[in-house]
Chain A
């Protein structure tokens, strides 16, 4: 599968005052994101995962190394608009991303700025709101919506640019369980039905269960990379990184230590229950 984003020896140091030693938030990341894939990036605070996210659509540009979006170098300012049209970003705080007083105007903000013709904007706004299941709120005031609804409006705002890839930087961190489920279901559907590439940055392990691929970051580098089953069965390494393993794997791991013959990779609740029931009966 072709790659939509490629980072090569990506290093980034946040600016420091003169005389101070720069601290690298990213220290050599080589990562290819396959077109149409659903990739979850996990890591504890300070692991570099949010810095990485901001690299993917040129909110930040590399100190060393490069990021290529469909072959376009994010360090080239002339390509900025083209890159951001292809890779859209949703941030953590829903309240910081809504700019208009009416939902449809908010969603229309980006295409308006891109100079999209009015009738085309209408079509895009309607489609984007439909895609996130918010059509009935077209003329509502965003500030009266729930957190999950606001994040779906923010996602619609990104969709209205018709990007190839959407990056969610801890976009569910401030939401309640229901809001979190709404947002996750929305991005999974976009991935499935529209083939949208999704990069989801999170520290909630259970958001990674349904991903194609899980990338674990620590101290500015990729330390694990594989399918959810491959990554989450690494119980001890994950714990030593300050990450928890899903309760399903934790339980299976404990049972195995007591000689119960269950697989470690029955990640989903239903799978896990099937495996345990089979082993005990």
Chain B
């Protein structure tokens, strides 16, 4: 099947012709398969935010191409709005972008702009609200009466209501507490599973990426440093650390155990997997 997104030799240079000229993304190429959950990680300044703003045409490549379902999104610049309906971008701290009088109207803003009306619009709004756990009676409230975590979920619902084929999220759980983070990630996983939509998740939380992504892209200095499954990427723990990135705490424990001579698989990155390996080691030891 054709990839839903193809990024070909993408370069984006800020401040062309000024002393501050700097490429935030340089000759990046990769694909996102339909229905995939792709995690993107990278140090601040690695080009993550610049990259994802190309995925729905908020930024135009300095050179290179972004193809959505095989078609260059800039082939017809006047139709870029349609790209934005198909690729939904949830910014960092999206709750700062709420503006309507009621939660309902805020969620309805996107789909209404797409031309949805009446029962169809109502369905989109209610379904998106339900998906993020906003109750019916909360729809008539002002979004500003909600707690921080709820506001964030309303903002997410506003993008989900457009039913984008690709949902791109920039640090969706930043600033939330553990319970809030888990709730929001569960909402995103539901959208991914139930609707079989593609997810691109940018996160600093290695644990979050480890637990959710099918594949991980690691960026460094405007380039792609690594690409692979979580097991493949986290197995290169030392390299990640030297790139100024974190690795999941479990990976650090596994690395420390290997340093002490225990034969732990470098690809382990969950507590459960490490537990299994250690218990297997003990059994093996007892048999000798």
Chain B interface residue bracket vs A: 35 or more
Given A247-B253, A255-B275, the answer on whether A242 and B45 have CB atoms closer than 8 Å is: no
Contact residue among B44, B174, B282 (Cβ-Cβ distance under 8 Å from A178): B44
Complex formed: what's the CA distance from A211 to B244 in Å? 24
Q: Is the CB of B282 within 8 A of A242?
A: no
Query: B249 to chain A: which residues have CB within 8 Å?
Result: 206, 246-248, 269
Complex formed: what's the CA distance from A170 to B175 in Å? 8
Contact residue among B179, B253, B279 (Cβ-Cβ distance under 8 Å from A269): B253
B43 at the interface (CB under 8 A from A): yes
Q: Is the CB of B285 within 8 A of A146?
A: no
Quick one: which of A243-259 are within 8 Å of B by CB? 243-244, 246-248, 250-251, 254-255, 258
Q: A92, A173, A206, A251 — which one has the most chain B CB atoms within 10 A of its CB?
A: A251
Question: Chain B interface: which of A62-70, A115-123, A132-140, A270-278?
Answer: A270-278
Question: Chain A interface: which of B111-119, B184-192, B256-264?
Answer: B256-264
Query: B271 to chain A: which residues have CB within 8 Å?
Result: 247, 250-251, 254
Q: Is the CB of B177 within 8 A of A277?
A: no
Query: A258 to chain B: which residues have CB within 8 Å?
Result: 275, 279, 282
Complex formed: what's the CA distance from A276 to B255 in Å? 13
Contact residue among A46, A179, A280 (Cβ-Cβ distance under 8 Å from B278): A280
Residue of B nearest to A248 (CB): B253
Contact with B along A146-188 (1 / 0, CB 8 A): 1110000000000000000000001001101111000000000
Query: A277 to chain B: which residues have CB within 8 Å?
Result: 257, 260-262
B246 at the interface (CB under 8 A from A): yes
Contact with A along B226-254 (1 / 0, CB 8 A): 00000000000000000011101110110
Contact residue among B252, B260, B281 (Cβ-Cβ distance under 8 Å from A274): B260
Contact residue among A178, A248, A251 (Cβ-Cβ distance under 8 Å from B275): A251
Q: Is the CB of A177 within 8 A of B174?
A: no
Query: B12 to chain A: which residues have CB within 8 Å?
Result: none
Q: Is the CB of B256 within 8 A of A270?
A: yes
Minimum distance in angstroms from A166 CB to a CB of chain B: 21
Q: A258, A270, A273 — which one has the most chain B CB atoms within 10 A of its CB?
A: A273
Query: A173 to chain B: which residues have CB within 8 Å?
Result: 174-175
Query: A44 to chain B: which residues have CB within 8 Å?
Result: 177-180
Q: A146, A176, A243, A255 — which one has the most chain B CB atoms within 10 A of its CB?
A: A176
Query: A242 to chain B: which residues have CB within 8 Å?
Result: 177-179
What number of residue pairs across chains A and B have CB atoms under 8 A from each other?
96
A260 at the interface (CB under 8 A from B): yes
Q: A179, A247, A254 — which one has the most chain B CB atoms within 10 A of its CB?
A: A247
A contacts with B, residue count (CB < 8 A): 38
Given A45-B149, A206-B249, A260-B278, the answer on whether A272 and B175 have CB atoms closer than 8 Å is: no
A11 at the interface (CB under 8 A from B): no
Residue of B nearest to A178 (CB): B244
Quick one: which of B37-93 are within 8 Å of A by CB? 43-45
Q: Is the CB of B252 within 8 A of A45?
A: no
Q: Is the CB of A254 within 8 A of B174?
A: no
A203 at the interface (CB under 8 A from B): yes
Given A45-B148, A251-B250, the answer on whether A203 and B177 have CB atoms closer than 8 Å is: yes
Q: Is the CB of A254 within 8 A of B275?
A: yes
Q: Which residues of B contact A (CB under 8 A)?
A: 43-45, 147-149, 174-180, 204, 206, 244-246, 248-250, 252-253, 256-257, 259-262, 271, 274-275, 278-279, 281-282, 285
Extra pairs beyond A92-B175, A148-B44, A174-B174 (10, CB < 8 Å): A44-B178, A45-B148, A45-B149, A146-B44, A176-B44, A178-B244, A248-B253, A270-B256, A276-B262, A277-B262
- 23 A-B contact pairs sorted by A residue (CB < 8 Å): A45-B147, A45-B179, A92-B175, A146-B44, A148-B44, A170-B175, A173-B174, A174-B174, A176-B44, A178-B44, A178-B244, A242-B177, A246-B249, A247-B248, A247-B250, A251-B271, A255-B278, A258-B279, A260-B278, A273-B256, A276-B257, A280-B278, A280-B281
